[in-house]
């Protein structure tokens, strides 16, 4: 170690890897991953969120976790976003592409993507 810059470089590189464990999350993205969810394609959605949140530099503010069956199997893949003090938002029939938009608009800019929510879903 010849300089502080080298130390800082290691710290920056590692920070994303340990930030998961700090348990601080302003927003929590929960992906339904029961059998129905997985069958409907929840796994690529989950991966898109994990990757997208990291790439958008939101890892210290947003946590991505899974949950079991939410009970609305016909709408799977279902993603819910929780934020302290706010009503939860339920997105349905999610895909990796839709996930990218949710990350950009909802998670980054705080604007709910109304067209994907359960309230606006038309079968």
Partner 1 sequence: MIRTHVLVCGGTGCTSSGSKSIQAAFNENIEKFGLAEEVKLVQTGCFGLCAEGPVVIVYPDGTFYSRVAAEDVAEIVEEHLLKGRPVKRLEYKGALAEDAHEEDVYANISLNDTAFYKSQTRVALRNCGVINPEEIDEYIAMDGYQALGKVLTEMTPDDVIQCILDSGLRGRGGGGFPTGRKWALTAVNKAPQKYVVCNADEGDPGAFMDRSVLEGDPHAIIEAMAIAGYAIGASQGYVYVRAEYPIAVARLQMAIDQAREYGLLGNNIFGTDFSFDLGIRLGAGAFVCGEETALMTSIEGNRGEPRPRPPYPAVKGLFESPTLENNVETFANVPQIILKGADWFASMGSEKSKGTKVFALGGKIKNTGLVEIPMGTTLRHIIEEIGGGIPNGKKFKAAQTGGPSGGCIPASLIDTEVDYDNLVAIGCMMGSGGLIVMDEDTCMVDMAKFFLEFTVDESCGKCTPCRVGTKRLLEMLNKVTSGKATLEDLDAIEQLCYYIKENSLCGLGQTAPNPVLSTIKFFRDEYLAHIVDKKCPAGVCKDLLKYEIIKDKCIGCGMCARQCPANAISKTDYIAPGKKLPALAIDTDKCVKCGACVGVCKFKAIVKN
10 Å Cβ neighbour count for 7? 11
CB of 111 to partner 1, least distance (A): 22
Indicate the residue among 43 and 101 with the shorter CB distance to partner 1: 43
CB of 84 to partner 1, least distance (A): 9
Name which of residues 95 to 114 contact partner 1 (CB under 8 A).
none
- Does residue 38 belong to the site contacting partner 1 (CB under 8 A)? yes
Q: How far is CA 78 from the centre of its chain?
A: 12
Measure the CA dihedral 54/42/102/62, to 10°: -40
- In the DSSP assignment, the letter for residue 26 is S
Q: Which of 21-29, 95-103, 105-113, 115-123 is the region at the interface with partner 1 (rule: CB under 8 A)? A: 21-29
CB of 110 to partner 1, least distance (A): 20
10 Å Cβ neighbour count for 94? 26
Distance CA 60, CA 72 (A): 30
Site string (58-87) toward partner 1, x via CB under 8 A: -----xxxxxxxxx--------x-x-----
CA distance to 61, 79, 82, per residue, from 22 (Å): 10, 23, 18
Residues forming contacts to partner 1 in the complex (CB under 8 A) are 1-4, 7, 10-11, 13-15, 17-18, 20-21, 23, 25, 28, 30-35, 38, 46-47, 50-51, 54, 63-71, 80, 82
């Amino acid at each position: 170690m010849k300089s502080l810059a080298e130390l800082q470089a290691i710290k920056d590189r590692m920070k994303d890897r340990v930030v998961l464990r700090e348990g601080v999350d302003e927003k929590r993205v929960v992906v339904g991953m029961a059998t129905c969810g997985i069958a409907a394609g929840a796994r690529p959605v989950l991966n898109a969120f994990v990757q997208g949140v990291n790439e958008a530099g939101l890892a210290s503010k947003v946590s991505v976790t899974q949950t079991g069956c939410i009970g609305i199997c016909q709408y799977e893949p279902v993603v819910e976003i929780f934020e302290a003090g706010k009503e939860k938002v339920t997105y349905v029939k999610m895909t990796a592409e839709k996930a990218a938009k949710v990350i950009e608009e909802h998670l980054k800019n705080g604007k709910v993507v109304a067209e994907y929510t359960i309230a606006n879903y038309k079968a």
